[in-house]
């Protein structure tokens, strides 16, 4: 994978104050490393030899709400403009994606990493288990589940999000051939391809209801129920769409539909802004449950 060097507005400002160069972080604090950036006149020289003019560095320094990166001799904004909307990486640590002004991760009072840990802790994936992550995004939940020993299949519909994930240092484990498999497509259709009882746990973190109502439907919940093993766990992120009563109404509807789909143990997890449920274990028939005297 070609090296990508990220530059935040803060580090760009530091570079502008130097004469001979400075050591700065270029991977959004993923590894804790620093790299030496040399300065020759009005040019800053990156580790791959790319020369970036001081005027470009000044523009980066003036834009604290965006991320920029150096790759293959050029300087780029970590953003995609497409018919679907405007997508950009936001300089939280780790980054989140903002789509038309809406952030994919919780950032108010928390970080995307703490948000991820909170979600994954609800189903506690373990060594040797198989996990379905229905809506990949930048892949943080998939990566965290894999770190705990699970094999993860994750689904992402949006090619623009996939493009940003490929350059994001915090998403790198998705593409290194480890314990995460990515499927590009709509989870509503992709889940139909899986066999019954394929997964020990499902992490369902869909876009907001107004953007992906089909992923909140009883029909889709029945598919998630089908692909879970008996006793399998589900976490469903619901979020906080506006005023409190609206969130409660949305959560209540989600919980009712999950029960209709067959799930039991359905309850809210307030700290994760979601709902947990499980698929019941198979009941023993009367013949096998009786002991011979």
Tell whether 168 and 44 lie within a shared domain. no
At 134-187, the pLDDT tens digits run: 999 999 999 999 999 999 999 999 999 999 999 999 999 999 878 999 999 999
pLDDT band at 264 (very low <50, low <70, confident <90, very high): very high
Q: Which pLDDT score is estimated for 1?
A: 59
Residue 166 falls inside a structural domain = yes
Angstrom distances, CA of residue 222 to CA of 5, 205, 260: 44, 16, 8
Specify the CATH number for the domain of residue 200: 3.40.50.150
Tell whether 223 and 134 lie within a shared domain. yes
Scored b (16 or more CB within 10 A) or e, 142-176 reads bbbbbebebbbbbbbbbebbbebbebbbbbbbbee
Q: Which residues pair with 234 in a beta bridge?
A: 202, 277
Task: For tokens 């997890």, name the residue.
Answer: 269
At 72-128, the pLDDT tens digits run: 899 999 999 999 899 999 999 999 999 999 998 888 889 999 999 999 999 999 999
Give the separation between CA 141 and CA 157, rounded to whole angstroms: 16
Residue 254 falls inside a structural domain = yes
Tell whether 71 and 140 lie within a shared domain. no
Residue 90 falls inside a structural domain = no
Cβ neighbours of residue 155 closer than 8 Å, sequence gap 6 or more: 132, 133, 134, 135, 136, 182, 183, 184, 185, 186, 187, 190, 191
Residue 16 falls inside a structural domain = yes
Tell whether 58 and 145 lie within a shared domain. no
Q: Which pLDDT score is estimated for 283?
A: 58
Q: What is the span of the domain harbouring residue 166?
A: 104-278
Which phi and psi (to 5°) does residue 269 adopt? -125, 95
Tell whether 121 and 66 lie within a shared domain. no
Length, in residues, of the chain? 293
pTM value is: 0.91
Tell whether 70 and 17 lie within a shared domain. yes
Tell whether 29 and 170 lie within a shared domain. no
Report the range of poorest mean pLDDT among 58-72, 205-219, 271-285. 271-285
Residue 290 falls inside a structural domain = no
Report the range of poorest mean pLDDT among 1-15, 22-36, 39-53, 176-190. 1-15
Tell whether 177 and 117 lie within a shared domain. yes
Residue 199 falls inside a structural domain = yes
Residue 94 falls inside a structural domain = no
Tell whether 16 and 134 lie within a shared domain. no
Report the range of poorest mean pLDDT among 168-182, 201-215, 233-247. 233-247
Residue 136 falls inside a structural domain = yes
Domain stops at, among 34, 62, 77: 77
Number of domains making up the chain: 2
Give the separation between CA 135 and CA 184, rounded to whole angstroms: 10
Give the separation between CA 155 and CA 181, rounded to whole angstroms: 9
Q: Which pLDDT score is estimated for 173?
A: 95
Tell whether 73 and 202 lie within a shared domain. no
Is the bond preceding residue 15 a cis peptide, omega within 30 degrees? no
Tell whether 40 and 136 lie within a shared domain. no
Q: Which pLDDT score is estimated for 174?
A: 96
Tell whether 43 and 165 lie within a shared domain. no
């Amino acid at each position: 994978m070609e090296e990508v060097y990220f530059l935040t507005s803060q580090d760009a400002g530091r570079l502008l104050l130097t004469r001979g160069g400075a050591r700065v972080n270029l991977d959004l604090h993923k590894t804790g490393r620093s790299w030496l950036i040399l300065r020759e006149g009005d040019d800053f020289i990156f580790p791959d030899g790319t020369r970036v003019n001081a005027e470009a560095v000044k523009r980066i320094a003036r834009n604290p709400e965006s991320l920029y990166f150096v790759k293959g001799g050029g300087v780029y904004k970590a953003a995609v403009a497409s018919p679907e909307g405007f997508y950009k990486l936001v300089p939280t640590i780790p980054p989140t994606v903002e789509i038309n002004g809406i952030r994919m991760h919780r950032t108010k009072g928390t970080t995307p990493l703490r948000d991820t840990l909170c979600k994954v802790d609800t189903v506690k994936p373990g060594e040797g288990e198989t996990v379905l992550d229905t809506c990949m995004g930048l892949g943080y939940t998939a990566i965290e589940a894999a770190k705990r020993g699970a094999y993860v299949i994750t689904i992402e519909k949006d090619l623009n999000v996939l493009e940003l994930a490929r350059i994001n240092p915090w998403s790198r484990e998705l593409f290194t051939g480890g314990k995460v498999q990515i499927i590009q497509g709509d989870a509503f259709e992709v889940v139909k391809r899986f066999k019954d009882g394929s997964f020990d746990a499902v992490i369902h973190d869909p876009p907001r209801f107004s953007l992906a109502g089909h992923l909140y439907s009883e029909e889709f919940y029945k598919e998630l129920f089908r692909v879970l093993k008996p006793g399998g766990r589900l976490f469903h992120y619901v979020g906080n769409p506006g005023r409190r009563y609206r969130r409660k109404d949305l959560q209540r509807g989600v919980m009712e539909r999950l029960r209709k789909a067959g799930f039991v143990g359905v309850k809210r997890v307030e700290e994760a802004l979601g709902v947990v449920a499980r698929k019941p274990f198979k009941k023993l028939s009367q013949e096998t449950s009786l002991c011979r005297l």
